[in-house]
Structure 1
Amino acid sequence: MTVTPIKQKYDIKDISLASMGQQRIDWAAREMPVLRQITERFAQEKPFAGLRLIACCHVTTETANLAIALKAGGADAILIASNPLSTQDDVAACLVANYGIPVFAIKGEDNDTYHRHVQIALDHKPNIIIDDGCDVVATLVKERKHQLSDIIGTTEETTTGIVRLQAMLKDGVLSFPAINVNDAETKHFFDNRYGTGQSTLDGIIRATNVLLAGKTVVVAGYGWCGKGVAMRARGLGSNVIVTEINPVRAIEAAMDGFRVMPMSEAASQGDVFVTVTGNMHVIRAEHFEMMKDGAMVCNSGHFDIEIDLKSLGAKATEVKDVRNFTQQYSLPNGKSIVVLGEGRLVNLAAAEGHPSAVMDMSFANQALGCEYLVKNKGQLAPGIYSIPTELDQDIAALKLKAMGISIDSLTAEQINYINSWTSGT
């Protein structure tokens, strides 16, 4: 391909990594046929022409293909990382060098750098924001009120981000429409369950090379992500315990064949702990004290506060790196606790995140969600909106077609039956 140098500023690790990044972006694209078809249409129709867009996402090969789609659609786009440990530096280099997309993301960047990148992105004066956890939108609302009138809308990728948007809406500070990409059926049924399920265990195995068969894996939270992790851990031969606060989900976990108990009971039984709740301090000081020597803890929820690492660090007599993305905390009682990925998303800190085939649908939702905002500019009141059902169905149909799978369609008689109240049983 032709390499086009860019004039915009960027902040990445090493632009010489671009060729390696191109190979991996192309590899991911092979598994993203839905997004590829959307990219081809965007290139012809240019739905984002004249619009400024910022995306705060995990800078991975899959996100690169989304960024390429948005630029093909005419967007003046900037990409920043949504997590300090999830950036793939070769991908960032490729987007800058080969596609002219300014990227502000470095794997391992500190919190100050992350927040500086958020400010740089907002300096771009966006019309559309793609957010992953709502950090950019929250910063905009708190610190950049003078820019609110520029915003057409935002799309949100995660459960955590949607919770924050709901709180903003309740407080009356959300002044533009937000598309809830997370709850699209073609997102959370697949991304959260199959993506998180596989990639979380991939991260654990890459970080530790531990044999999961025969181990007791404690999964905190039985939402779609927790279901995926529990299912895949059992598939590898683990004995799985689920902890929950929601009685309905707890019943579901029990009826799916998992042991269910409070974390206070599970803490002494687990060999590996995975938090997927979106809440804070799910594993706390009292739990660490009960854990086995060498117990491993990691997080696959959005933020790094699910595990109370501050209290663990305060108790520790020594903290040392024992493998990449693996730290051992030695405690006064003689035991040690192993923390993976610094408590951040282990599937992205220690591995490569969700498989491309799953992100194909998630990012198709993002791309079409942005287009929906543009098409309905000025017609949507401030609030949180679901992806329209017809778009969700279109994405599923495109995915099935790419997989070579055909399904039935209703006959005229069946359509009449399900839309009638006069027909009996």
Structure 2
Amino acid sequence: MIHQTGIASAIGWVDFSSEHREKVKSVIDLLSTPGVVDELGIGVIRDSFSDSLFPGISTIQTRAKYFLTVPRIFRDYEKLSASKRRGKKLATYLNDHENLCMEAMVANHEDDPQGGIIGESFAEKQGEVQRKPSSVYWTGIRQFGLIRTPLSLQAFCRRFANPDQPLQDLVQGSDKTKGDDPDAAGQENTTINGPAYMDGWIESLTVDLSKEEAYFLSNQMQARVPMSLLGQILLDSEVQTQFLSLPSEWNFTTFADEAPFLGQLPESLRKIIAGARDFWQLMYGAHVRYNCLLQMQHGTSAVRGEFEAEWDEWLEDLQSFPWARWDTGLLWKLTKIHRRRVRDNTVHFVESWIEGLRSGDDTKSLDELVTRQERFNKKGRARLNPTAEESISEWVGIADLNYRLNVARTIISDIHVAIAQSEGDDA
């Protein structure tokens, strides 16, 4: 199968605010990954499944350690005297200390190279976007109760710009609602939540978790998102071991079909896993047709022939699709739960595409659905517009849906390795 993108684009924007800048950075991070450009508008449904399976995880996270380093920087700032806080705003302090963390990690792994150090290869280049761990991990930090606040990162930093306002004033909840943190009953209702650490911690910082850090982070995830796939894997050490033993090349479809422990999971979660797997099997066909249409208008007969052959193969596989368990309503239930807005044209496209497949509609009718959806979704930038002129020789659009599986595997592995090593040391 052909799953590459060969389209290069230039993006520019007017930088009005830090919040606007962060949103643009997130879009650029996604667009920089091959095979994720969402030409048919299904990304919001994909993200709803991902939020159910691996909440707090994002595709641009790298290592579990950052869930703890960012809160520590905030806590260090909280310890500063009011005069020192007046002399340096939190946003500036955070930026400076994230750079120090990057430098320390690189230096401390010089003889032990590790992947996933954010900013390791960063070099100042005009137009390059620099991502900081605080931005990449903020949603997960809040979701796992590591910083208890409902605020965005930018709003949190602005609100805390007043050095006379304690962090406790930004806490989420009250003494009567301490949340689901396993250790909340033993603490005051502080905003920053984390295991103990030593002063000067940045100097010896590595990407590896200590035993205490791994247990703490695992417990927070289990407590805050217990019914997710992430929480269930961490709750059961045997399931965790089986999950990390699965072949690394497995995509989500193979995982959903063959992972040996799925039968042990709660039924509600099994339905979501099956729904995510089946959703992509159905929508992959739409992306194959989209690329067939692109080749008809902008490509070559040879490449079109490859995609048409893939379409025939996909149709053959569809003969065994598990229609008895399919529920289109699950898609809209999950988007509502996770407060993700789906455009009306996307709802119509997805429902019409699935019903067309179930009813055995001809290819021409299905092509019309795909063409109309791409034009709705991309408007003047639609490649299937009659006036569009472009040369396309490779796959365009989403190539696979893995629902954050690979990143979650890295995060869980970091926790598992630290705990396994500590148990070995204690033996």
TM-score relative to the length of structure 2: 0.22
Compare the two structures and name the one with the higher helix fraction.
2
Compare the two structures and name the one with the higher strand fraction.
1
TM-score relative to the length of structure 1: 0.22
> RCO greater where, 1 or 2, for CA within 8 Å and sep 6 or more?
2
Higher CA-based Rg? 2
